[in-house]
Amino acid sequence: MSEGGIVADDQRKVDGHRRAIREHIDKYRRYTAQQDKNFALKTIERIQREIADLKRRNPRIGSAGEDTWRP
């Protein structure tokens, strides 16, 4: 695969991860039980680490608010 293809593939992954983060942010805000909030937050943090790994590999991938969101 060409370098451009790798970057495009990683960008698609990051876009999907950011969508998942937005979904979990909504869940975090809706949940009332602390254990549910904690679970959503752990999921967000795991996905943010995956995004950071992809961005380290491909510095041309831009940043977005989801990459560093904290409650």
In a domain, residue 43? The reply is yes
In a domain, residue 15? The reply is yes
pLDDT digit string (tens) for the chain, length 71 residues = 566 677 789 999 999 999 999 999 999 999 999 999 999 999 999 999 999 999 999 999 999 999 999 99
In a domain, residue 64? The reply is no
Q: Say how many C-beta atoms besides its own lie within 10 A of residue 14's C-beta.
A: 22
Provide the strand spans (E) within the chain: none
In a domain, residue 9? The reply is yes
In a domain, residue 71? The reply is no
In a domain, residue 44? The reply is yes
Domain count, the chain: 1
Residues 44 and 18: beta-carbon distance below 8 Å:
no
Sign of the Cα torsion 42, 48, 51, 53 reads: negative
End-to-end CA distance of the chain: 39
CA distance 41 to 70: 8
